A and B are shown apart, each in its own frame.
Chain A
Amino acid sequence: MPSNQTSKKETRYVKTACRACIANCGVIAHVRDGRVVKLEGNPEDPMSKGRLCAKGLAGIQALYNPNRIKYPMKRIGPRGSGQWERISWDEALDIIARKLMETREKYGAETVFCSTGGGGNPEIWSIARFCNIFGTPNWFEPGCAQCYLPRVLAYTMMYGGTDPSIADSNALELYFPEDTPIKTLVLWGTAPSYSCPSSGGGAVVDLRAKGVKTVVVDPRFTPDAAKATVWLPIRPGTDVALMLAWIRYIIENKLYDREFVLKWTNLPFLVDTETKMLLRDGEDFVVWDTNSNFPRTMPYPWDENLAPAMFGTFTIDGREYKTGFQLLWERAEPFTLQKAAETCWLDAEKIEKAIRLFAENTPSGLAIGVATDQTANSVQAAMAAATLDILLGNVERPGSLLQRFRTSGVLKVPNYPVPVAEKMLPPEQLKKRLGGIEHKGLHIWYAGHPPSILDAILTGKPCQPRVWIDRSGNKLGVVAESQKWAKAIEKLDFIVHMHVCQTSFSAYADILLPAAEWLETDMIVETCNTLVARQAVVHLWETMDETLFWSKLAKRCAELGHEGCRKSFDPEFMGEDLAYWDSMDEFFNHFTKEVGLTWEEFKAKAPFEYLPKEEWRSYYVYLEPDENGRPKGFNTPSKKLEVYLESMITLSRTGKPFSLIELPPASKDYEPLPYFIEPFESPNSELAKEYPLVYTGGRVPFYHHSTGRNIPALREIYPVPELTIHTEDAQKYGVSNGDWVWIESPRGKTRAKARVTEGILPGVVHMERFWTPETLNKDTHGWKEMNVNILTSASAPYNDVVGTYTLRGFQVKVYKAEGPPEGIWQKPEEFKSWLPLSEKEVR
């Protein structure tokens, strides 16, 4: 009689991988009678080692969430009224394709733009591919220049190997605590305990347990900061100043690896101080030989007979030259410990202690996170961080984070399989990439510049974007200056939102499409020397893997006469870029054949090692011989580590090497060396009189970007965003722990619940992004109540290279509020209505 009787049905175990965030931790899903009943970590995953965080564990509540979009839907009634009617996929695809074709015909393909996001289930290159094939250069994600791209760019250009981002599943050396010799780990603007607890977070725990010392640069007293040997609570936005101080100290005290810097970086090369370009002799570069006191060509890789000067200013044929190292020194020289302490609000002694640990307790490594990606100084911070590891020779040695370990060869593009098909985008369209001329760094990801797109919508210049297809979570929760975007939306003709659940953004859409949750999708995941399959455990309603959606959309466009889309289905024409696929199985078979398997076989076998660990962990790749017997060197033009990044100049002037064609120059050359700029909204400015506190953002371990706010088990832990504020500031501004407060910037204000603590740099406040599904159908659509992105800035100044806008390091004020915003849920029981739908209800 009681319906809670346990059934004796068989349990099926599916080895899959999570996608509650980008860490892709291995998961074992328990399935009974077609229903996912339990999730746990898979110990076969070498990065997560069987651990699984709150977000992944709550996957069942995401999968069976009552808020799921189940079927394609078309808007009836006015935008924002929340009235939808169900339509078929065929109908939806037809409506969208027709709109795209019509818009392309009347206004040009570039007036169609797409977007994706990092939160939950993205296959980022699907969007880039579709846009290239459709012919629009304009797609963006709110991350990109504000998240990861600056680091990818800098490390790709300077080193050509992987960047040391823990949250993006790099820094693979960290996952071998049993035998890695690393002794000091610097966590710069990254909190693995918050961003990737089960993978990177757990790895750092293991390393600390075996005695590895850590330095944490973070204004928040995170769990990693609490367990660090040295905590540097830095003023947000001043990281480059601190990095330059580190560089200066290392150079002045000769802590750098002289041999390595001489032989394997381009710092000894001579630079024309007027043109800023390296002096060349054919393909080779020139050094100042101190033996002969004369400039000499340095053949690759090295000439024993030469003794290049590290530093110096020289005249050759009436022109002035300095070594790259000299220029780096001059750039860093003003940043003494005292200056850094003053600028960054730190203690000079602690800074010194940190540098000494990093430079002397070696091998060491510097992991840099997203914090520095979120201000106008983004790319420069990544350059400076790379410089630090390079100066110490922390490259491709046992214990280094900068490595080029072997790969399976299954994934050709970084991290995701979908081939981008760059060549499909007509050159004249590429030139129309909004923001693409000024911010050439974006081309490494083929992406557009969000504020430029926003401005175009609002002003109609240089074109009037009309159609927006978004395949992500809640744009209004994560882009800077959400209110501006809300205005822009009103001007658009047609909006499509594809996601797992309705979010604030959906309220403004014309078509909703049901995206598959991670438990419903497939993916190939490469983790260390292991290949893991994310394999769909169940399939609900009419959800679709977005990677398939774009293919179907292209097909419909092809049927309506789009030539490029038609060709994209031709395997011969597409070649390595692959013809569009009719099923995900078909798609994955292309890649699994690299390891001699079909996708079915791969799923059955995974996880499996594609190489034994010892073989996979290849050190000193730069010393491996090339076909001529010379050392391979690094994946840079000079094959040396390009600390003096001359390619930045080329990039700004032409877009090479990342754009397929040469583009008109940016308004200014990009700088080959890192430089520090004070945040444009500075605590030292007039503005600070009214807005005295510095704002910073940063993750909490329960959510990934805009996702998870509809998951009861997570929401009851962190129901509303906290405004973390130091005890002294709280007192100054009349705020007590638990009070509701307003936080305001020149752009707007929003609310949060105060958490008063000693554990944050005084003068700085922190608040994480938030939106509320429970008020989705109110006027606010859930994005106004407690949304810190109302305060951030989408306006200039931007980072020069990639156009980063300002998400952290700007001025705010905090004061007590009457109470919480209306209609938000705070008590655990209030989230009951979002508990998983029963089996009957999902049929």
Chain B
Amino acid sequence: MEEMISKLKEKYRVFAPKRFPNGSIRYGEIDSLSEIVVDEKSHFSPKEVYLPIVQTVFYFENSHCAESKLEDDREILIFARACDINAIERLDTIFLKNGGNEDFYYKRLRDKVNFVLIECKDSFDSCFCVSMGTNRTDNFKGILRDGKIDMESEPIFVSENKKSVTVPDIDESLVKDVFELEYWRSFDENCAGCGGCTAVCPTCSCFDTIDVIYSETSLDGERRRVWGSCMREDFTAMAGGHNVRKRAGDRMRFKVMHKIYDFRQRFGETHMCVGCGRCGERCPRDIRFSDIVNTLADKVKQLKAEGGAGV
């Protein structure tokens, strides 16, 4: 197996979910297939491979500027589950088919990405990929089976989750009422605004553009993209001090609507959420996205029944 992977590494940088010393399971480069953690869901998605947490856009030195270059020419091979492979298609939509331009920094990494499917024998407790239609995919070069990469066999996909989620069918006339639901206020005290959910989510794409200088007296520095989060208090802070989503509940509403309404409304077809369940696992306050969506489904049903009065 070592031979196979070192040969692979000549052509690819190989990423898979592995265990870090502090117990965290997240994507990193591997030297052997035996490092891949299969029996537990990774805490972070593979997103950080092709959409790095911190990414340099260009360097500047005094008044001189130079664009960043990729350090490694190789292709990228990622061992991923069906939900995560489906997730990259959401990111492709956002970065490459959104507004008529392709994002250069996303594309140059994305073009290198190839997948090997990690099969899910049974889904994990928090998964709801079936409800989101992301339990299947054909975007892979091989399958990880019995510690080897299998190029021949047919993939086995999950057909049922322990958790099922009903995504409410919200039409435009209901949006205002959904916005004004008292339900969102229940998150004002509870949600810590830490942004952990958006960090582990395979489809979250928001980023900040920041400029850094290397020291207080330096004239050199870089422009960087760093992961942002709509769940943090300062996400909508503006010049002048105004902040439209100052309350945690407003931010929760925004995120939920983004994942199960806005995306499909704009791009058609699929929802942004792929039901990987990681956000709920990560949340220090144990807020489960699946529960929110189900609750919201009930509320929307009620709204429809009552013809839209405030609930």
- Residues of B with Cβ closer than 8 Å to A? 59, 61, 66, 68, 214-218, 220, 222
Contact = CB atoms under 8 A, between A and B. Distances in A.
Contact of B66 (A1, A4, A836, A838): A1
21 contacts: A1-B59, A1-B66, A1-B68, A2-B59, A2-B214, A2-B220, A2-B222, A3-B61, A3-B214, A3-B218, A3-B220, A4-B214, A4-B215, A4-B218, A4-B220, A832-B216, A832-B217, A835-B216, A835-B217, A836-B217, A838-B217
Interface in A819-843: 832, 835-836, 838
Given A4-B214, A4-B218, 4 more contacts: A1-B68, A2-B214, A2-B220, A832-B217
Contacts of A836: 217
A2 B69 CA distance: 13
Interface in A1-56: 1-4
Interface of A: 1-4, 832, 835-836, 838
What 7 A-B pairs have minimum CB-CB distances, sorted nearest first?
Answer: A4-B214, A3-B220, A835-B217, A1-B59, A832-B216, A835-B216, A3-B214
Contacts, number: 21
Contacts of A835: 216-217
A804 B68 CA distance: 68
Contacts of B216: 832, 835
A1 B222 CA distance: 10
Main secondary structure of the interface of B (DSSP, over half): loop
Nearest to A829: B216
Main secondary structure of the interface of A (DSSP, over half): loop
Contacts of A2: 59, 214, 220, 222
Contacts of B59: 1-2
Contacts of B214: 2-4
A204 B218 CA distance: 42
Nearest to B215: A4
A835 B218 CA distance: 11
Nearest to B220: A3
A2 B61 CA distance: 9
A228 to B, nearest CB: 40
Nearest to A841: B217
A2, A836, A838: residue with the most chain B Cβ atoms closer than 10 Å: A2
A480 B214 CA distance: 45
Contacts of A3: 61, 214, 218, 220
Contacts of A1: 59, 66, 68
B155 to A, nearest CB: 43
Nearest to A66: B217
A832 B66 CA distance: 27
B124 to A, nearest CB: 41
Contacts of A832: 216-217
A716 to B, nearest CB: 12
Nearest to A832: B216
Nearest to B69: A1
B65 to A, nearest CB: 11
A806 B214 CA distance: 50
A664 B120 CA distance: 108
B64 to A, nearest CB: 11
A4, A832, A838: residue with the most chain B Cβ atoms closer than 10 Å: A4
A836 B215 CA distance: 12
A4 B217 CA distance: 12
A835 B215 CA distance: 11
B223 to A, nearest CB: 12
A804 B51 CA distance: 73
A3 B59 CA distance: 10
Nearest to B221: A2
A1 B217 CA distance: 18
Nearest to B68: A1
